[in-house]
Structure 1
Amino acid sequence: MTTAGLALITAVLLTDWQESVASEVFWHILWQLQLPLVITAILVGAVLAVSAASLQVVLHNPLADPGIIGISSGASLVAAGLLIVQPIQLAQGALYLLPLGCFIGALLSTWMIYLVARRLRGAAMAVILAGIAISTVSGALMAWLYVLADAQALRNLTFWLMGSLYQTDWMILSVAGPVMLGSVVYQCWQSRQLNWLYGGETLAAAAGVTPEKLIKKTLLASALGVGAAVSVAGSIAFIGLLVPHFLRLVIGYNNRALLPACALCGAVVLLAVATLTEYLHLITLPVSMITATVGGPLLLLALYRGQWKVA
């Protein structure tokens, strides 16, 4: 065989090998990194938007977003305790502990908000102030926990608490994913009964709905979904606040249409944010940095135009 023929065969074999390796790398990135990120964005966006819409009905407050009224803060506080006080390797072994801890923190915060709303008969400003108080206390306790963290743990936790879709994988999604999906499905299934709460608990009771039971189940489903979302993506601001508000301007207040639309639009919005961060190859931005940058001005604009009544 001539030298030229041997070189040609070597080049062909080398090309085939390079194409095979490139194909394996492509499928590994797609399956192990990009697909979990897409599913996480869809589930987290959907559960945050639907939970916010349900909370706004049961608390009679258009600003009842999980981030604003302190539910996400309660979940983040427990997550901070698990990731700082315990060894950082806990994040690998605590497949069930982290979602459970976030759910407990979200549930406690939700229950405190519910007690305040019941005692003050759903006064909008009182609920907001209670949420600010819970967020402040949670932030103070997390600041104390930061003292116990080393530099690397502090950096990782700070980025995670600002929202990141890159903290998840298939194992984590196998636990938190069904919880978020179940929370969304249950709240959408309760949408017809939630409509009766617009007229007050007396009217709802006259229609055959048990308001106390409905409210508790809705709060439990919201806390469970938000806790699971925080456990996989950290604290993400404004998705739950803005999506239901702007959808109500378009399709109205019927929860049978509103809640599924919130699930779809919340998923699309967070997926768009994930796509944006994915294509910014030079830097990985915290999700809340983007959502707050866009959502803050939109909130101010809505308040300025009188589209929101908070009291």
Structure 2
Amino acid sequence: MLIVSALLLLFNGLSAPFTDPIDQQILLKLRLPLVLTACLVGSALALSSANLQVLLHNPLADPGIIGITSGASLCAAVFLLLGGQLAPNIVQYVLPLCCFVGAILSTALIYGVARKLVNNHSAVILAGIAISTIGGAIVAWLHFFSDAQSMRNLTFWLMGSLHQADWPILMFAIPLLLPLIVYLASQGRALNWYYFGHNSAQLAGLDVHRFHRKMLLLCALSVGAAVSMAGSIAFVGLLVPHLLRNFFGYDNRFILPASALLGACLLLWVELVSSWVIGISLPVSMLTATLGGPVFLYSIARMTRGAK
């Protein structure tokens, strides 16, 4: 399914046998980076959320809800406001770096505040929500004081786009994201031990505290890299793992790699819907929320019926 979706998006609207130089340029310089960006970003967001939901023992754990995305967006907003007058080629490459740094800093702040408060999983969620709210308020103030062009750039960034990454960005992102995705997808057995509690995990030989810190950092790195490539994309991380667990159970040895594949497919489908049905490139978050919201409600209703 992933391969079919990627091929449809790659060759949509191009004439076979691709001997036209214009079609070749479209394929190599536009479509292929788009497909790679969708696969990497969708996999990273869904896989990070699948890990976070187990690490924090909360099905609502999501990079957007616990504040990682907000930190990245806040750094992007500050840069666009203060450095928006720089040359476009400089903005294109400095902006992803700012997002990446913001995601890491927000994760460190959330984890530090949680340890000071209670040092439990609920504290991480609560600290993330608080920091996310503060970040949203600061972004709103930046909107208020920004000029029209900076506001337009910031709004477009916050709504997400798969068309921002090109080959130079992908050359940095692929060596970082691909090993992270493979590693996070391979942690199903350890997460199964962790899921049954600290005592069971320690009996299985897992260093719980070290594992928890390491996985939080790796999830933050994945989300930071994904947001730096495509901006803020809503609902992918929350929807995909929840949907898979609802239909296929809680074995993380299956859920983690399946989340990576379904997250990649979801963003490919969103881009296909945008190009086929609407005919223009819309912000990704608009489509993921529109398509994902009803599916998420159906999943919750199905889970509720199953519980009865």
In the alignment, the residues of structure 1 paired with residue 66 and residue 121 of structure 2 have an alpha-carbon distance, to the nearest angstrom, of 13
Aligned residues: 287
Q: CA RMSD in A?
A: 2.5
Matches within 5 A, 1:133-152: 133-152=130-149
How has the CA–CA distance of structure 1 residues 113 and 299 changed in structure 2, closer, same or farther, with 3 Å as cutoff? farther
In the alignment, the residues of structure 2 paired with residue 294 and residue 281 of structure 1 have an alpha-carbon distance, to the nearest angstrom, of 14
List structure 1 segments (4+ residues) > 6 angstroms apart after TM superposition. none
Normalised to the residue count of structure 1, the TM-score between the two structures is: 0.84
User: What's the secondary structure of 1:85's corresponding residue?
Assistant: helix
* Residue 42 (str. 1) matches residue 35 (str. 2): no
Normalised to the residue count of structure 2, the TM-score between the two structures is: 0.84
For residues 60-99 of structure 1, give each alpha carbon's deviation from its aligned partner in whole angstroms, at most 9, with x where no partner exists. Answer: 1111011122211111111222222113446622676434
Matches within 5 A, 1:110-259: 110-115=107-112, 119=118, 121-123=120-122, 127-259=124-256
Gapped regions of structure 1 (runs ≥ 5):
1-20
Deviates more, 1:276-285 or 1:134-143: 276-285
Residue identity (%): 56
In the alignment, the residues of structure 1 paired with residue 300 and residue 126 of structure 2 have an alpha-carbon distance, to the nearest angstrom, of 18
For residue 164 of structure 2, what is the amino acid of its counterpart?
Q
In the alignment, the residues of structure 2 paired with residue 306 and residue 41 of structure 1 have an alpha-carbon distance, to the nearest angstrom, of 29
In the alignment, the residues of structure 1 paired with residue 192 and residue 104 of structure 2 have an alpha-carbon distance, to the nearest angstrom, of 23
For residue 162 of structure 1, what is the amino acid of its counterpart?
M
User: What's the secondary structure of 2:83's corresponding residue?
Assistant: coil
For residues 268-311 of structure 1, give each alpha carbon's deviation from its aligned partner in whole angstroms, at most 9, with x where no partner exists. Answer: 01110011222356532111001111222333444455559xxx
CA contact (8 A) 1:91 1:98 kept: no
For residues 178-200 of structure 1, give each alpha carbon's deviation from its aligned partner in whole angstroms, at most 9, with x where no partner exists. Answer: 22212211212322212211111
User: What's the secondary structure of 2:59's corresponding residue?
Assistant: coil
Compute the displacement of 1:237 (Å): 0.8
**Structure with greater Cα Rg:** 1
User: What's the secondary structure of 2:143's corresponding residue?
Assistant: helix
Compute the displacement of 1:103 (Å): 2.5
Gapped regions of structure 2 (runs ≥ 5):
1-17
For residue 157 of structure 1, what is the amino acid of its counterpart?
L
CA contact (8 A) 2:234 2:289 kept: yes
